[in-house]
Amino acid sequence: MKEKEYILRTSNLSKSYHGSKVLEDVSIALEPGKIYGLIGQNGAGKTTLMRVITGLIFPEEGSLELFGQSGSGLPEERKRIGSMIEYPSIIPYITARENLTYYKTLRGIPSKILEDELLALVGLKDTGKKLPKNFSLGMKQRLGIAISLIGNPEFLILDEPVNGLDPLGVIEIRELILRLCEERHMTVLISSHNLPELYQMATDYIIIHRGKIKKAITLKELEESCKHHILIGCRETEKLAGVIEMQLHTANYKVMPDKTLKLYDYLDDREFVAKTLIDNGIVTTNFTVQGDTLENYFISVIGGEQDV
């Protein structure tokens, strides 16, 4: 059986500053072609984790594997990564195009049209001689993303990429990331405080809290958890399922391992559901509407501490 391929795999990564743990036993595995949303409060360890992955800081314990390779340095593997961590790496006194030329030269890429392509891709083709020091925050973010895309990386690490962007800019960057992932089969690790925005991009979520990975969940699992439904508790689940199919004429329900049932229809007609169950002799132990946003799900995972 073929072993699963991973772009990144960390095992028990730990890091502390001044005696305080900022990463604790962080183990994650990223598969190719997926967009991973890294969610956490301020100081949860998102940026520290990204810095460890890019080799800017060293973990005290644990190991890191990139593109199936482990060891110190990983220079060849890191050439396949593009990143923008915290704020963009921009030289303020040369133009956006010259910035791209600088980084293109740094990576040894001979292309003569790369600058134009990237500037057009991030919507900065008309900046001309305007210097980045005079750019808005959003324009700087766009240039930072363009820099991170130099060399057509297979793995893109973006720390708060939509920070400072206007609503239209947010949509453009979202569409760009989705397109890159789809067309180039790029793997993206993206952190953002804008959870509704992240919800529209990510295929998987990693929730980090106080340096620990609290939850790694796929979009499907998240939607399952967040999807609004009527949660019905009952001792006779099979009978309940039969009544729902026969009387309510729907199969849009799911029986959970704890024998509760999630009904995804009739959310606006709960009285009718309740009456039908009573008329068919179903005794319920629970009858509540559940379902949440990513924000509320995140808060429930980290234990109710809100600061995202």
The residues, any chain, with a CB within 8 Å of residue 125's CB and separated by 6 or more, are: 116, 119
Q: Could you say which of 101, 225, 260, 284 contacts other proteins (CB under 8 A)?
A: 101
Q: How many CB atoms lie within 10 A of CB 162?
A: 25
Rule CB under 8 A: is residue 57 a binding residue for other proteins? yes
Give the residue with the Cβ less far from other proteins, 128 or 303: 128
Q: What is the CA 305 to chain-centroid distance, rounded?
A: 20
Give the residue with the Cβ less far from other proteins, 58 or 272: 58
Q: Could you say which of 108, 128, 167, 257 contacts other proteins (CB under 8 A)?
A: 108
Q: How many CB atoms lie within 10 A of CB 196?
A: 10
User: Between the CA of residue 115 and those of 91, 128, 131, 225, what are the distances in Å?
Assistant: 15, 12, 15, 43
Closest CA to 141 of 85, 98, 190, 95: 85
Q: Could you say which of 29, 43, 71, 106 contacts other proteins (CB under 8 A)?
A: 106
Site for other proteins in 135-154 (CB under 8 A): 147, 151
Give the residue with the Cβ less far from other proteins, 85 or 122: 85
Rule CB under 8 A: is residue 91 a binding residue for other proteins? yes
Rule CB under 8 A: is residue 19 a binding residue for other proteins? no
Rule CB under 8 A: is residue 303 a binding residue for other proteins? no
Which of the stretches 80-88, 117-125, 180-188, 263-271 binds other proteins when contact is defined by CB under 8 A? Answer: 80-88
Give the residue with the Cβ less far from other proteins, 188 or 248: 188
Q: CA 15, 20, 21: angle at the middle one, nearest 5?
A: 35
Rule CB under 8 A: is residue 93 a binding residue for other proteins? yes
Rule CB under 8 A: is residue 272 a binding residue for other proteins? no
Give the residue with the Cβ less far from other proteins, 140 or 174: 140
Give the residue with the Cβ less far from other proteins, 78 or 270: 78
Q: Is 187 helix (H, G, I), strand (E, B) or coil?
A: strand
User: Between the CA of residue 235 and those of 128, 241, 259, 266, 281, what are the distances in Å?
Assistant: 70, 12, 8, 21, 12
Q: Is 308 exposed, middle or buried (0-12, 13-18, 19+ CB in 10 A)?
A: middle
Q: How many CB atoms lie within 10 A of CB 294?
A: 24
Which two structure tokens, joined as six digits, stand for 108?
Answer: 């040894």
Which of the stretches 49-57, 162-170, 211-219, 279-287 binds other proteins when contact is defined by CB under 8 A? Answer: 49-57
Give the residue with the Cβ less far from other proteins, 66 or 173: 66
Rule CB under 8 A: is residue 88 a binding residue for other proteins? yes
Rule CB under 8 A: is residue 69 a binding residue for other proteins? no
Distance CA 162, CA 140 (A): 11
Alpha-carbon radius of gyration of the chain: 24
Q: Is 274 exposed, middle or buried (0-12, 13-18, 19+ CB in 10 A)?
A: middle
Rule CB under 8 A: is residue 21 a binding residue for other proteins? no
Q: How far is the CB of 56 from other proteins (least distance, A)?
A: 4
Which of the stretches 75-83, 122-130, 205-213, 264-272 binds other proteins when contact is defined by CB under 8 A? Answer: 75-83
Binding residues (CB under 8 A) for other proteins: these are 51, 54-58, 73-79, 81-83, 85, 87-94, 98, 101-103, 105-108, 147, 151
